[in-house]
Structure formats: structure tokens, C-alpha cells
Structure 1
Amino acid sequence: MTNPAAAAFPYAEFDGRPATEDDLRTAALFPYGHFTAMQIRDGRVRGLDLHLERLGSANRELFELPLDGGPVRELVRHALRGAEVADASVRVVGTRPPGATGTTVMVTVREPARMTSEPRSLMSVPYARTAPHLKRPGDFGQMYYGDLARRAGFDDALLTLPDGAVTEGSITNIGFWDGTSVIWPQAPALLGITMALLERELPGAGVRSLRRPVTKDGLAAYRSAFVTNSQGMAPVARIDDAVFTVDEELMKRLGAAYEAAPWDTV
């Protein structure tokens, strides 16, 4: 059956049925939950196991309920069919509205997206997300500091702890290059799917991938930096007053490692 909203973005389903006004109202008024974001091409996504594990783990932590991967995959497939698309930006959101005994799964479908390769400038800000290991909607601090950074002429914010430890970008992970290894900040942060895939694939490409503490005062130890999220990756040209080399060869190696990650059918 063809949905009347087919091919119109954004498109949303709740537990496998097209969203109603009441569904969207409830989601807006009670946003407590978790989600994962994925780029789907031709009905496939990289790191599907990581996305499903993220959803299952967060659901158990927040609601003490399982969220099995098989039904989640079917809900994503159903939403793609409802929107009549095979290429899309998809979010899978787990919530438990007041009075509900189980998890409500919202799947949203939007236009495909890809991060531009333009070098980024980041402004460090003093902010740490609550429960940073969880990917969740509606974090005021991320949006506030991201907007503050853009007003100051930067592309985005870089979150840091009171001791100067670098954690993550407002909506990205950040990695550094010391000339021999990729260094990910060893700090409370979300393990992004693209970061996790690079950690898997970089050793096979002959690039060491390590986690070590990174501080604002220690940025001079790194030649280059880059950010990643579900839409891809981009080099970092500047953090505050610290300037980094935009290493095209490094970005090619990172891109090749990411491209080596297999596609999984949803």
C-alpha cells in the first residue's frame, strides 16, 4: 500500500505505522530517550551491528527493557518502504512515554546527507554532556555552545573538561594525528559509529589507532586533526588559536579505511 506521504521528507513512523499528530506531540513533550543516526544507501548501512548494539545497550540502561535488533531492522525497512526511498538519513529513536509499559520506536527518514570536506575551525568550550556514552536527543548544552561557537566565527564547538581535557565535538568525535598514529581522546565521550568503524579498519590499513588523554595545552604535539560523525569526516584547520596542517594524504588514508568497512543490508 502506498503511503500518501511517500517520498516527502521528513517522514516518520512509530512502531511501524505512520506518525500521527498525537505521536509527534508526545515525542515533543516527552523527549527522554536515546537514538542512533545512520546513512542508508540502497537499503544498506555500514556498522549495522554497532547501531543495533548501541540501541539495545541504551534501552537496557534507560528503561531496563530489551530492544532486539531483528524487530528494529524490520521497523527501519518498513519506514524506508513507507517513504519509498532506498537512500536516506535515518534516525531510530527509543522512548517510553508516560504510562507506556514498553519501548516506543520512532524511525524518521530524511534526505541523504554527507559531511563536506571543508576544513573545520573549532572553539573550545567548558562543557561535558550528562551520560556522554549515550546518544540522546535534546541536549541543550551541545546546541548552546555550538551556536555560541558559530557566532564567534568558528564552525563548531569542542567540548572540554575543567582540567582542560578534550572530549568530543558538539556533534562529532575528534581524532588527532601525531605523524605515526591516530589518537582519540581518552575521555568521557560518545563512541560514534564512524569512529568505531575507523578503530576497526585502521590497523588493517597499516595505521595505528590509539586512545590517549588529550588536553588543550597539549595540542601542539599533533600535526593534524579531524572530526567524524554519521555523515562522514572532515579535517580540522584550527582549534582556538592552534593551527593544524590539513593533511590530504591522511584524509585519503582515513577515507580508504572507512570505505573498507562492509555495507550491511538493513
Structure 2
Amino acid sequence: MTTPPAHIEIDGVPAAEPGLLATLMSGYGHFTAMQVRDGRVKGLGLHLERLDRSTRELFGRGLDGDRVRALAVGALEKAGRRDASLRVYAYPDVRVAVTVAEPAPDGPGAPQRLTTAEYWRPAPHIKHLGGFGQNYHREAAARAGFDEALLTSPYGEIAEGAITNIAFWDGTSVVWPSAPCLEGITMALLEPRLGSVRRPVTLADLPGFRAAFVTNSRTIAPVTAIDETAFAVDEDLMERVYAAYASVEGEALRPGA
């Protein structure tokens, strides 16, 4: 590992632990994001599995789930929260950072308009740091008046949103694009509960779908447009999606709770 600089300042104030801050600033690592409600997390086991798997791939050793849980519980206690948006980051030497922020609003997300961008994330199966490309396209989408960027290949195959997964409704099945993407925890929880299928989806296929929705750790929201293609909000579909997610029991962060 590169020797950390001897002195680091943040906003003109010397950092207390330059070595740790140098690690955090390296841009090499991964994370998972979760919503905590009353000390419980939907799909906690999947979050812990994701952290361990990606840590092994990036750093050659695992990340113990009990360690993650203890750090998360400690951070929540120090923040005085049982409801929160919580992120766990893993860095070189398997250093772990936890952030605690305001919880995302509960309930259905606001309808979203998407615009397409020719970009696929590198190593998309990892929720990695340094996502300049996806952030660039997401910010460009926002400046153009859209809610999210939809990432596609140069040939129009759809993969995922910049920070979301996307699913389509053909009137019979919920269809998730099969292109390489980050399989989000919300997607992983919904997929088996909706009787979903995966198959290639291209921009040319869009007029054949009746509806679409996006998911991530903060929201599940209907899509009303992708570029010039408009979608109606299928209320029956969305009620089914929300009910499927609501049926998932949260897992306690604190063992035995």
C-alpha cells in the first residue's frame, strides 16, 4: 500500500489520522447502502454477503458480518438513531467506515423521467467507489430536467440506471434487463417475489412495454418517460411491487434483537 502523506488538512484543519484519511481518499473500495428502521434492515444478509464477496475480490480477504453489524450498531447508537440511511464502506487493508444520515422517506417514490446515456460501469457487479462516469451522466440528466440517467451500450442495450435498477412490465411479466449491472438489494428482494424474468432489453423494445419502474435502497418509483417514450403509471403493478417489498421482514442489526 502507498505510504500515506505526512500531513492532510480538511478545510484548513489538520486531519487527526492522516493514514486513515489517505485510505478514504484513495477512491479504491466498495460499499453498501441500506435503510434502517427500528434497528432492522430488509435484506441484511444480502448486504453482508455483498460486503464480504466484494472485499474478497478487491482485497483478497473477507469482511466478517459480525464486525459489520457491531460497527453499524455502534454508529447508530452514537448518532442516537434507530431509523437512518446507513452506509458501510470497505477500503484497502479492510478498513471499514460507517455513515449515518437521515432516513429516506417511506412509501412510494415520485414518478421519474429518465434520459439515456451510452455508458456501462466498469466491474458493474461491485458497488464500487469512484463512479465518476455514472455521476457525470446523472448530473447531466438532472441539468436537462430528468430524474435519472439510464445507462446503455452503444448498440442500445439497457443495463441499469446511474444509481438504480430498472424493470419493465410487458403485461404478463416483470422484465429486468440481463445486461451486466449492479444487482441491487431491493432488486434481489423483489425479483423472486414478482415472478420476474431477465432478458436483453434494448431501446427499440421500449414501445412494447406497458410500464416501468426503478429501484434502489432509497426508493421504488414508477417511470413515466425514457427520452421521448412515455409510460403510463400502472397502479395495479405498482401496488403489487410495493406489497412485495412490504412483505419482506427486516433483520435485526444487533444479534439476538
TM-score normalised over the length of structure 1: 0.86
**Aligned mate of 2:154, from 137, 147, 162:** 162
One of 177, 202, 225 as aligned partner of 1:215? 202
Q: CA deviation at 1:113?
A: 1.0
CA contact (8 A) 1:34 1:93 kept: yes
Equivalent AA in structure 2 for residue 152 of structure 1: A
Please give the secondary structure, in 2, of the residue aligned with 1:82: helix
Q: Which amino acid aligns with 2:221?
A: A
Q: Number of residues paired by the alignment?
A: 238
Residues 1-266 of structure 1 mapped to structure 2, 5 A cutoff: 20=16, 22=18, 25-96=21-92, 102-114=93-105, 117-202=109-194, 208-266=195-253
**Are the counterparts in 2 of residues 201 and 261 from structure 1 also a CA contact under 8 Å?**
no
Structure 1 residue matching 2:114: 3-state secondary structure: strand
Q: For residues 197 and 209 of structure 1, what CA distance do their matches in structure 2 show?
A: 11
**C-alpha deviation, 1:117, in angstroms:** 2.3
1:36-58 per-residue CA deviation (whole Å, 9 max, x = no partner) reads 00000110000011000100000
Letter in 2 for 1:124: T
Query: Alpha-carbon deviations, 1:213-248, whole Å to 9, x = none?
Result: 000011111100000000120000000111111111
Aligned-residue offset at 1:155: 1.2
| Matched position secondary structure for 1:114 | coil
Tell me which residue corresponds to 2:11: none
Asked if the contact 2:24/2:91 (under 8 Å) is kept, the reply is: no
Give the TM-score, by structure 2 length.
0.89
Question: In the alignment, is the contact (CA less than 8 A) between 1:201 and 1:260 conserved in 2?
Answer: no
What secondary structure, in the 3-state scheme, does the structure 1 residue paired with 2:196 have? strand
Shift of 1:138: 2.6
Farther off after superposition, 111-120 or 35-44: 111-120
Question: Where does the alignment leave 5 or more consecutive residues of structure 2 unmatched?
Answer: 1-14
One-letter amino acid matched to 1:113: A
- TM-aligned CA distance change 1:41 to 1:23, over 3 Å: farther
Q: Secondary structure at the match of 2:156?
A: coil
Q: Which moved more, 1:173-182 or 1:150-159?
A: 150-159
Q: How far apart, in 2, do the equivalents of 1:226 and 1:76 lie?
A: 30
Give the CA deviation at 1:24: 6.6
Q: SS at 1:128's partner residue?
A: coil
Q: Could you say what the CA RMSD is over the residues aligned between the two structures, in angstroms?
A: 1.5
